Each structure stands twice: as C-alpha cells, then as structure tokens.
Amino acid sequence: MSDQQSERVPIQPQTVNAPLSRAAIFLVVTIVDGDAAIATVRDVISDIGGLVRVVGFRDLNGHLSCNLGIGSDAWDRLGQSTKPRQLHPFPEVRGGRHTAASTPGDLLFHIRAERADQCFELERLILDKLRSSITVVDEVNGFRYFDSRDLLGFVDGTENPTGSAMAADTLIGNEDPTFAGGSYVVVQKYLHDLVAWGELTTEDQQRIVGRTKIDNVELDAPDDARKSHKDLNTIVDDDGVEHDILRDNMPFGRPGHGEFGTYFIGYAADVSVIERMISNMFVGVPVGDYDRILDFSAAKTGTTFFLPSNDLLESLAQ
C-alpha cells in the first residue's frame, strides 16, 4: 500500500460546534412525491456548502453557516443502503398533563450568522433551488436576546459542553463508524404564555427553572422538593456519568400577534439523551412530577433529524 493510500483523510463534520450566533433561521420542509423531487433535493443538499460560500463571502465576519439534517423517512427515500443506527421519527411523549408532539419534517436547514440579512439571503437561495420539490412545514426566525436569555428572562444554554467535550457529546464516533462525524438533532418549537409567567414571583420562577434570574447561579433544592427544569434535564447514567447535549436555542416572536417562543434545537451523538430529557420533562421524575415550565410553554412541534458529515452529504449527489 502506498503512503498516500495509507493516509486517512479526516472526516469533516458539519458546523455543529459553531459559536452561538446573533441570528438564525430554522427551516423544516417535507419532500413532495416523485422521483424528480428526490433528484432535485439530492442535488441541492449535496451542494449546500457552495450556497453558503456564495452568500458568506460577502462578509466573512458574518460567520454564515448552515447545518442540514435529514429525517428518517427522507433518508429512506434518498435510496441509501444503510441507515444511522439511532435515526427514527420523533416519538410523541404524552404525559399526564402535557404532550410533546411529533410533527412532520424531511429536511432541516439550521442557518446561522451574525447578520440576519445573510441568513435571509441563504434561505432565499435554498428555497429558490428546491422550488416545487418541497413543502415548507415550519419557518422560524430566531435572534439573540440580550445576554443569551430566553423570553422567560433566564440565560439559556449554560450547560453546553466546551472544548474537547463538545465533539465527544455531539459527534458520532466508532459506535457507528459508517456515520462517524455525523450528529443527531432534535427540534421543538415552544410558545410561551408570558402573561401567566409574569404573574409569578421571581422566587417562584427561579424554583421552576433551578437558577437565579439575574446572575444565572444554580439553586440547590431541598431533597424533598420537586425537581426543577435544570434537574430534569441533567442526565446521569447508572455509572454516575453525566451526559450532555449541545443546545443552540433561539428566542423568536411576533408581539403584534401575541406570539412569543423559544426554538429548542439540541445536537447529540446519542439521541436517547435528548429523548430522556424530554421524557423527564413531560412524564416527570417521579411520574407525574412534570417540568412546571410546561404550564407556561407549550411544545407545538417535535422532529428528529440526522446530520451527516460533509463528506457523506456531498456523496448523496451520486
């Protein structure tokens, strides 16, 4: 074997671990029936990097990026011989009082930049290329809200992994080598009742979230207290190892329509970690003690996607 053949070309993941941006667009679409639609989609998504470069070159300081996720049904329709081990439709989670809905989605475009106009232009070009081959299911324009707070007033994403832990928690490795460098991503659109939330005292809000509102310090709850949002989203296995995910949540809203929300987007190498978090929130720990934040935030969508590595994404054109 030659030296060239023995060298391994590093797998290039998508920009899962890009820094949190000031603006984002979350675009979820379904693919219409027909071979022509599949062919068009295959061509567009395999060259998504080219569209990013066309728009991003106008201002490199905008740090434009786009992560492309593929749903379970769409993966089958794209004619791939093998499937990521954990790729399946988002499972509806029905608790005693609240439900995490499962909604359609074949493709996810997570567009991020420091400039909203770059996000807009890239989305416009993507939709122009896809045209009649897709149907838009959901489109959300997110923005950074002051010091990375959600519209409930609390800092969001505090527990995101950093450094080498970020790749370990988000990128698939040897456990599924065919899809190494890929990632699973789950999205949910939450709408908030800010009027009802605002009627709570700051102390009650803090007990529900599990952090102080002003300085974002974790609160230690008494052993007999109901678990907070923070506690329900802390996943520790039987060996005492904590498992993290990468959140890139964004606030969104239309005050003129009374719409205020948070778009949850979580990346993980192991999708079961996200699914366990959602189950804890909606079913409760113990069962019935659901996340009280759900009394003020309703999950309107829920979809799971697989983010292939750039290498695998480009090969879909073949």
**Which among 106, 138, 150, 156 is annotated as catalytic?**
156
Evaluate whether 219 touches 207 at the Cβ level (below 8 Å): yes
156 is catalytic: yes
Compute the distance between CA of residue 92 and CA of residue 10 in angstroms, rounded to an integer.
Answer: 37
Compute the distance between CA of residue 91 and CA of residue 93 in angstroms, rounded to an integer.
Answer: 6
The tokens describing 259, both together, are 């719409």
Compute the distance between CA of residue 278 and CA of residue 293 in angstroms, rounded to an integer.
Answer: 12
- The strand pairing partners of 263, in sequence order, are 189, 250
Question: Where do runs of H (alpha helix) occur along the chain?
Answer: 3-6, 35-46, 48-56, 72-77, 116-130, 164-170, 194-198, 202-209, 229-232, 271-282, 310-315
Compute the distance between CA of residue 293 and CA of residue 197 in angstroms, rounded to an integer.
Answer: 9
Q: Give residue 163's region: left, alpha or beta (phi > 0; psi -120 to 50).
A: left
Segment holding 290, helix H or strand E: none
Amino acid at 313: L
Q: What are the Cα distances from residue 85, in Å, to 80, 92, 158?
A: 13, 19, 29
Dihedral sign for Cα 86, 92, 95, 96, please: negative
| Residue in this structure with the two tokens 């506690």, named with its chain if needed | 231
Compute the distance between CA of residue 36 and CA of residue 90 in angstroms, rounded to an integer.
Answer: 27
**Active site members:** 156
